[in-house]
Chain A
């Protein structure tokens, strides 16, 4: 008999990360009368993307910049198609959020006039080794109730209204049933859909948090929420092996990309789109073409930057990716004397860099009543990074506060709770029921093999066509029924089981999105070899999807693009 723990709250926040913590603080500050509860998968002090730290705020309006100039930049960086309303609204709150976190204790580098020190056009330098604990303490001090170690398995719904969520505790094995008037989903994006760059004891040496496994996307898909732009995957240019961010080197040391022959290929082959300053997808696509055509490896040319700059680089990585420094130490690499080799990552689905996620209105309301989305899980607004996720948390909190007043708690039927409990714990029950079940790790390997080989993985240079995607679709279609046979031997493995079950739901939607958009707008993120050109006549619009609740089919639709900020969409 599984024990049940019931929670009643006004506001339920799923995911105590960048967006979730900021939303909790804003909610308690602006609407102190409401009860705020956070369900967190790990421990809120060091969970999610920020666990290791952060060395820069990469979306900030430095002196002379405006929300309009930001929209123009993000629009061109995303190849002419973004939700301009969403991007503009988040940029208006960058300063509000950053100043707040600075007040909570985050060290931000300022010059003698008290101005933040820029690291690039939209970036400021921080010492964010402890950024996550700082946010967590703010959320707790504001009065949010935090439940750590809860793996949330599904949303609770009543028709098209979201009434709460359910999950299990990794620590005490209880089944948690949270009944809420409004729910904010802030679970982050999805890693692990494709084979990771490294194997063995480094298989989780990924760039994106390997513990962000698309739970929020999957729950929304299963509940019938409208999703957007999954086909704009994120493939990041990262340092070889350590998979550390390259902005630290490219922006911090002004290092350009060179190929094996020392040629600045972005300048010689991509000058028309900005050379080393080309839109982000092209800065991943360029080096991949060099490697594909036999001119690899590819490097960021740090030679001659001097010992002072090297020291600065190392300090910057220690605030965020210490393994990069240990990698240089172990391999006797001095970036002043030899260039830093780079590679591209496995494709991730992440709405904070690209725009895969829930289709939301200006106030971050999803298409389901009572459900809001913020951060990496929310779609339409790329270039969020840390500060944009904070801003979306604030926007969603303000909307929830306004919407809450007339709302009452819905009664959740025992029948629904029973069904969800059965679903949540079935891999554990399978220990007794099945002689030989499927281990989560085996199911993960199956999923990653299909995606890697037929849905544009790194081994095919991220390329795909109609026929490959049809095979991916067919192979994936068998998995949802096979999840009934997934077996878990303890609570940790039960979490791993749900992580792979969630990713299967996300992968199926991803494949439909990639098949539906018949153009190549974002090379490498979505390279269609059968439709290799950008097609503004037919595809300057958003590709959206809703999974039909009864039949389980994924229904595709489009939504129009609206230009709010005038100007050439392909120029920053």
Chain B
């Protein structure tokens, strides 16, 4: 599974109907289970590994995992957006536990915890 939302860390962005991870997934693959107030990747086979979901999670609850077919698990790669939003630091760790950090310039746009969809918000599970 390419990205994984840790249910212990995800707070569903409180009362948000459309949390940032759900809105920023270009494939519409993340849904929020309102009964437990948590988001999850509903269609892992359709994930492109593009990672906007991870970058916008205010709780840093989303982990990036390589599909197991590509190599052993155990390595780690996690982005942290600086408070100034001008830099992103990637925390990297190989399978031996060797750590590295990469800090790169960027220009991160502010993102709201929720956003009303034209003519009323609905979850992607909504069917007619």
B45 lies within 8 A of A495 (CB): no
B49 lies within 8 A of A322 (CB): yes
Task: Kindly list chain B residues whose C-beta atoms are within 8 Å of the C-beta of A489.
Answer: 127
Q: How far apart are the CA atoms of A288 and B118 in the complex, in Å?
A: 48
Q: How far apart are the CA atoms of A285 and B45 in the complex, in Å?
A: 30
Tell me the smallest distance from the CB of B52 to a CB of chain A, in Å: 4
A129 lies within 8 A of B104 (CB): yes
B28 lies within 8 A of A42 (CB): yes
Whether A107 contacts B105 in the complex (CB less than 8 A), given A200-B69, A330-B66, comes out as yes
A147 lies within 8 A of B107 (CB): no
Cβ-closest chain A residue relative to B88: A129
A-B CB pair tally, cutoff 8 Å: 192
Q: Which of A43, A129, A133, A326 contacts B64 (CB 8 A)?
A: A326
Tell me the smallest distance from the CB of A268 to a CB of chain B, in Å: 32
B75 lies within 8 A of A329 (CB): yes
The verdict on A98 contacting chain B, using a C-beta distance below 8 Å, is no
Tell me the smallest distance from the CB of B99 to a CB of chain A, in Å: 10
Q: Which residues in window 85-128 of B have CB below 8 A to A? A: 88, 90, 92-96, 100, 102, 104-109, 111, 117-122, 124-128
A200 lies within 8 A of B67 (CB): yes
Task: Kindly list chain B residues whose C-beta atoms are within 8 Å of the C-beta of A42.
Answer: 25-28
Tell me the smallest distance from the CB of A205 to a CB of chain B, in Å: 6
Q: How far apart are the CA atoms of A220 and B10 in the complex, in Å?
A: 43
Q: How far apart are the CA atoms of A177 and B64 in the complex, in Å?
A: 39
The verdict on A117 contacting chain B, using a C-beta distance below 8 Å, is no
Whether A201 contacts B2 in the complex (CB less than 8 A), given A149-B117, A330-B95, comes out as yes
Q: Which of B26, B69, B72 contacts A51 (CB 8 A)?
A: B26
- Contact indicator per residue, chain B 61-72, by CB within 8 Å of chain A (1) or not (0): 000101111111
Tell me the smallest distance from the CB of A149 to a CB of chain B, in Å: 7
- Contact indicator per residue, chain A 105-127, by CB within 8 Å of chain B (1) or not (0): 11100000000000000000001
B26 lies within 8 A of A107 (CB): no
Q: How far apart are the CA atoms of A210 and B102 in the complex, in Å?
A: 28
In the complex, identify which listed stretch (A164-172, A408-416, A502-510) lies at the interface while the others stay far away. Answer: A164-172
Task: Kindly list chain A residues whose C-beta atoms are within 8 Å of the C-beta of B111.
Answer: 45
Task: Kindly list chain B residues whose C-beta atoms are within 8 Å of the C-beta of A52.
Answer: 48-52
Q: How far apart are the CA atoms of A323 and B72 in the complex, in Å?
A: 14
In the complex, identify which listed stretch (A154-162, A223-231, A313-321, A384-392) lies at the interface while the others stay far away. Answer: A313-321
Whether A329 contacts B45 in the complex (CB less than 8 A), given A42-B26, A173-B126, A495-B28, comes out as no
- Contact indicator per residue, chain A 14-54, by CB within 8 Å of chain B (1) or not (0): 00000000000000000000000000001101111001100
The verdict on A65 contacting chain B, using a C-beta distance below 8 Å, is no
Task: Kindly list chain B residues whose C-beta atoms are within 8 Å of the C-beta of A136.
Answer: 109
Task: Kindly list chain A residues whose C-beta atoms are within 8 Å of the C-beta of B1.
Answer: 201
Whether A491 contacts B126 in the complex (CB less than 8 A), given A322-B49, A327-B71, comes out as yes
B64 lies within 8 A of A173 (CB): no
The verdict on B24 contacting chain A, using a C-beta distance below 8 Å, is yes
Task: Kindly list chain A residues whose C-beta atoms are within 8 Å of the C-beta of B75.
Answer: 326, 329-330
Tell me the smallest distance from the CB of B43 to a CB of chain A, in Å: 8
A127 lies within 8 A of B105 (CB): yes
Task: Kindly list chain B residues whose C-beta atoms are within 8 Å of the C-beta of A172.
Answer: 117-120, 122, 126
Most chain A CB neighbours (cut-off 10 Å) among B52, B93, B96: B52
The verdict on A436 contacting chain B, using a C-beta distance below 8 Å, is no
- Contact indicator per residue, chain A 144-188, by CB within 8 Å of chain B (1) or not (0): 000111000000000000000000011111100000000000000
Most chain B CB neighbours (cut-off 10 Å) among A174, A319, A492: A492
Task: Kindly list chain B residues whose C-beta atoms are within 8 Å of the C-beta of A211.
Answer: 26-27, 48
The verdict on A246 contacting chain B, using a C-beta distance below 8 Å, is no
A204 lies within 8 A of B46 (CB): yes
Whether A51 contacts B48 in the complex (CB less than 8 A), given A129-B88, A327-B66, A491-B128, comes out as yes
Q: How far apart are the CA atoms of A201 and B2 in the complex, in Å?
A: 7
A311 lies within 8 A of B64 (CB): no
Cβ-closest chain A residue relative to B65: A326
The verdict on B7 contacting chain A, using a C-beta distance below 8 Å, is no
Most chain B CB neighbours (cut-off 10 Å) among A129, A209, A331: A129
A201 lies within 8 A of B64 (CB): no
A329 lies within 8 A of B70 (CB): no
Tell me the smallest distance from the CB of A42 to a CB of chain B, in Å: 4
Q: Which of A45, A198, A332 contacts B67 (CB 8 A)?
A: A198
- Contact indicator per residue, chain A 204-220, by CB within 8 Å of chain B (1) or not (0): 11100111000000000
B67 lies within 8 A of A169 (CB): no
A332 lies within 8 A of B70 (CB): no
Most chain B CB neighbours (cut-off 10 Å) among A2, A170, A311: A170
Tell me the smallest distance from the CB of B11 to a CB of chain A, in Å: 21
B118 lies within 8 A of A169 (CB): yes
The verdict on A549 contacting chain B, using a C-beta distance below 8 Å, is no
Q: A47-B26, A428-B127 are in contact. List 6 more A-B contacts (CB 8 A).
A: A43-B23, A46-B26, A147-B118, A169-B117, A315-B104, A325-B77
Between A and B, 13 residue pairs with Cβ closer than 8 Å are A45-B23, A46-B50, A134-B107, A169-B118, A170-B124, A172-B117, A204-B46, A311-B102, A318-B88, A325-B92, A329-B95, A330-B72, A490-B124
Q: Which 10 residue pairs spanning A and B have beta carbons closest together?
A: A52-B50, A330-B71, A329-B75, A105-B107, A490-B127, A202-B67, A133-B109, A46-B52, A173-B128, A330-B75
